[in-house]
Structure 1
Amino acid sequence: MVTFLLFGSFLFFLLLSVPIAVSLGLSAALTIFYSGVVKPSAIPQGLVTAIDSFPLMAVPFFILAGNLMGHGGLSKRLLDMANVFFGRYTGGLALIGIVTCMFFAAISGSGPATVAAIGGLLLPAMAKANYNKGYSIGMLASAGSLGIIIPPSIPMIIYAVSANVSIMQMFVAGIIPGLFIGVVLMIVAYLKAKKENYIGTTEKFSWHQKWQAIWDAKLALLAPIIILGGIYGGVFTPTEAAAIGVIYGFLVGFFVYKELNLVSLYKVLVDSALTSATIILIVGTATIFGRILAVERIPFEIADYIVQLSDNPVIILLLINLLLLFVGMFMETLAAIIILVPILLPVVLKVGVDPVHFGIIMIVNLAIGMISPPVGVNLFVGSRVGNARLEEVTIGVLPFLLAMIFALLVITYIPSLSLFLLKFVA
């Protein structure tokens, strides 16, 4: 009865379009007051203790750092550099977009932020070159989802805290899968562009011009090196790295590139504060929700039930992938992680799946959810930036969506893609 009330009320509030954080909190509160499964004092305690975490402090810092770098001119210089190297190939602008998203992902840690930052600069150029609008935005939305796969990644931090694994190990494990998905997306973009005859630019760049483009983008390229190099080298923690990213983004955007001013800085601070507040509310209310699950031993009962269906890791991971793909279509990424990790982690541990590898599987699934209708947040951001109908974008994203599902299966069943680099870190 408690389980039915908890999940039934949660789904009911979602169907009423109540925000995810409020839906989680209301369903948990309703269950607590009706069943008495835990004391009502668990509600304020859960809201406070959930965010009383040093690793979690990295989230608002990474959000602010990504916004500062997006508005401060770093994304523009990354695009210019990518154009020099990839602009002359078939589908050159699409390749430029994917490569730039991969670089910007290593700065922002956010999928929607990557789509917004790169799309505002790239989509007008693609429209001028007569690229189909649905294809252009579909490509960008897919590449933008790399923002939560390539480290630093905000969902990876949330998973690491929820699963009690190392944030640094999650970051390291995400490098190869993120690059692999990026290459798969580039292959699909090239084949699609070849079919539609989206030719590249006729301009040829000398090695001097290529070197000049790299030199102009040096500060943008240096950002992920400072952030990730400092983390992997043990110089500072992920939280400290996020704070350093904020300082770096501000100094470069305000004093070096001078594309940040007091007006844009105010907008960056407001947007970052709103996004951070939303995430913190989700974390707090989802923690109360998860506490009820733990008291009722719901995760362990589900784990036992799934293992009874099959003890074959291949079958279990396939079932979990199907579940996560479905959940990702409807639920916000961070809420899905906080709710599902306590439920699914015991299942995969029973069949010998490494928790870090499972974290990458979960993150990739939820990244696919970002481009899956009806609630694919990257599709909404891309359609807004590109001024296109959602139906048009949904058709354009289909080949990239299928490519990412293929990449997901490869990552799921070849654990070494995620775990190989962990051999080289402490």
Structure 2
Amino acid sequence: MELSVLLGVLVFLLIIGVPVAFSLLGATLVTFFMMDMPAIAVFQRMAGGMSIFSLMAIPFFVFAGELMHRSGIAERLVRVAEAAFGRSRGGLGQVDVGASMLFGAVSGSAIASVSAMGSTLMPMMRERGYDADYAVNVTSTSAVCGLLIPPSHNMIIYAAAAGVGVSIGELFVGGIVPGILTGATLMVAAWLVAVKRGYPKGEFPGWMAFLRAFIMALPGLFTAIIIVGGVLGGLFTATESSAVAVLYTVAVAALLYRSMGPRAFLDAAIQAVKTTAMVLLIIGSASGFGWMLALLEAPTQLANLITTVTDNPILILLIINLILLVLGTFMDMSPLIVITTPIFLPIVVGLGMDPVQFGVIMMLNLGIGLVTPPVGSVLFVGAAIGKVKVEETVKTIWPFYGALFVALMVVTYVPSVTMGLVNLMR
């Protein structure tokens, strides 16, 4: 009865448009009152969920991404991608995916990626005869790569939710090949759609132009090397690496590129504070909600239900993926990581899957939810930047959904894609 009330209130609040954080908190409080338990326990759980040391990396990574967006680093990455991929049919679509992968390697944020790439590439694509819906679809779906290619602050949330024994450094390494694979499948989809619509070919500017663009973008790209290399080399923790990323980005933007003034720095700080406050409030509310789920033994009941339906590992993994895909369409990524990790991680570990592989699966799976209505925050941001209605993009986004689903299935059923580099590191 209590579990039905908890889930029923949550669904009702989401349907009537209450923000996710307050929906989670409201459902938890109603269930607490129903069980005659003190409400202060909910807020203690919220505070505990937000007081994990590793989560301190989130505001710094978000801040670094905002600084890169406003300091011109994103534009330099676009130039590298255009020189490398721009000559194929519908070359700007390939450029969009490639630039998003590069930006993901230095920001780790899907929202920052779609904002930076959208404001830079969408006007360029429309000027060269590309349809607006194509520009939005490519930019929005390729932003998912930023959730996989390190650094990714959502991987830090997963490591905190998974508990002791899951290395953030290994998660970073595990996301490299799946991130590249996801980008490659999206490039194929972008090319196929471009061929069907008859978009123009680009021109290769020459090796000297490519080399010049690469050298200009290299200081920005070096951010990812510092973060991942420093963590794996034991120079600093993942939390400390986020602060190093901010200091390095400020130094590159202000001293080397000289492209960021006090106003841009202040704007980046304000936006980072807003984003961090939203993310941490969601994490705190999800922690209280997740604790209530555990108290009501929901994880055990769901695990028993899944194993009752089938004991085939392939089907169990497919069911878990489908559940996450459905949940991801109407809930944000951060609370879902906190809530579902304790539920599904014991099941997949029992099947012999490494927690690192499941973390990467979750990043990709829930990333698809970020570009899927009705919530789909990344898709909504992309549509707003491209000045296109979401309904119009959904009609033509299916090839890109197909590419993401193919990548998800490969990452799920071919462990070496994720674990090859991780096992080599171990």
TM tier relative to shorter chain: over 0.9
1:416, distance to aligned residue in structure 2 (A): 1.2
Measure the CA separation in 2 of the matches of 1:122 and 1:26.
41
The one-letter code sitting in structure 2 at the alignment partner of 1:191 is L
Measure the CA separation in 2 of the matches of 1:355 and 1:218.
33
Matched, 1:205 2:175: no
Deviation track 1:105-124 (CA, whole Å, cap 9, x = no partner) reads 01111111100011101011
Secondary structure of 2:151's partner?
A: coil
Matched, 1:42 2:41: yes
Measure the CA separation in 2 of the matches of 1:268 and 1:95.
28
CA contact (8 A) 1:112 1:145 kept: no
Measure the CA separation in 2 of the matches of 1:47 and 1:369.
25
Q: Which residue of 1 aligns with 2:351?
A: 351
Matched, 1:160 2:155: no
Q: Which residue of 2 aligns with 1:283?
A: 283
Measure the CA separation in 1 of the matches of 2:396 and 2:230.
38
The one-letter code sitting in structure 2 at the alignment partner of 1:123 is M
Measure the CA separation in 2 of the matches of 1:376 and 1:285.
20
Deviation track 1:101-154 (CA, whole Å, cap 9, x = no partner) reads 001001111111100011101011100110011111101101011111211112
Secondary structure of 2:329's partner?
A: helix
- Unaligned 5+ segments in structure 1 are none
1:254, distance to aligned residue in structure 2 (A): 2.2
CA contact (8 A) 2:220 2:249 kept: no
Q: Which residue of 1 aligns with 2:221?
A: 221
Deviation track 1:227-283 (CA, whole Å, cap 9, x = no partner) reads 112122222111111111111111222232222222222211111101000111111
* Number of residue pairs matched by the alignment: 424
Q: Which residue of 2 aligns with 1:94?
A: 93
Q: Which residue of 1 aligns with 2:378?
A: 378
Alignment of 1:34-183 (within 5 A): 34-36=34-36, 38-164=37-163, 165-183=166-184
CA contact (8 A) 1:227 1:245 kept: yes
Measure the CA separation in 1 of the matches of 2:416 and 2:229.
22
1:207, distance to aligned residue in structure 2 (A): 2.3
Q: Which residue of 2 aligns with 1:190?
A: 191
Measure the CA separation in 2 of the matches of 1:362 and 1:100.
23
CA contact (8 A) 1:371 1:397 kept: no
The one-letter code sitting in structure 1 at the alignment partner of 2:180 is L
Secondary structure of 2:150's partner?
A: coil
Q: Which residue of 1 aligns with 2:3?
A: 3
1:327, distance to aligned residue in structure 2 (A): 0.7
1:40, distance to aligned residue in structure 2 (A): 2.7
The one-letter code sitting in structure 2 at the alignment partner of 1:238 is A
CA contact (8 A) 2:90 2:202 kept: no
Q: Which residue of 2 aligns with 1:330?
A: 330
- Unaligned 5+ segments in structure 2 are none
Alignment of 1:409-424 (within 5 A): 409-424=409-424
Measure the CA separation in 2 of the matches of 1:188 and 1:182.
10
Measure the CA separation in 2 of the matches of 1:114 and 1:40.
39
Q: Which residue of 2 aligns with 1:399?
A: 399
Measure the CA separation in 2 of the matches of 1:267 and 1:122.
22
CA contact (8 A) 1:91 1:193 kept: yes
CA contact (8 A) 2:71 2:253 kept: yes
CA contact (8 A) 1:173 1:421 kept: yes
1:159, distance to aligned residue in structure 2 (A): 0.9
CA contact (8 A) 1:139 1:396 kept: no
Measure the CA separation in 2 of the matches of 1:210 and 1:8.
56
Measure the CA separation in 1 of the matches of 2:53 and 2:424.
25
Measure the CA separation in 2 of the matches of 1:424 and 1:240.
24
Q: Which residue of 1 aligns with 2:246?
A: 246
Q: TM-score, normalised by structure 2?
A: 0.96
Q: Which residue of 2 aligns with 1:389?
A: 389
Measure the CA separation in 2 of the matches of 1:247 and 1:69.
12
CA contact (8 A) 2:171 2:360 kept: yes
1:286, distance to aligned residue in structure 2 (A): 0.9
1:372, distance to aligned residue in structure 2 (A): 1.2
Deviation track 1:158-217 (CA, whole Å, cap 9, x = no partner) reads 111101221111111111111001011111111221222222234x42322222111111
Measure the CA separation in 1 of the matches of 2:304 and 2:346.
9
The one-letter code sitting in structure 2 at the alignment partner of 1:410 is V
Deviation track 1:304-354 (CA, whole Å, cap 9, x = no partner) reads 221122111101011111111111111101111111112222222232222
The one-letter code sitting in structure 1 at the alignment partner of 2:398 is L
Moved more, 53-62 or 221-230: 221-230
Percent identity over paired residues: 39
Measure the CA separation in 1 of the matches of 2:380 and 2:124.
20
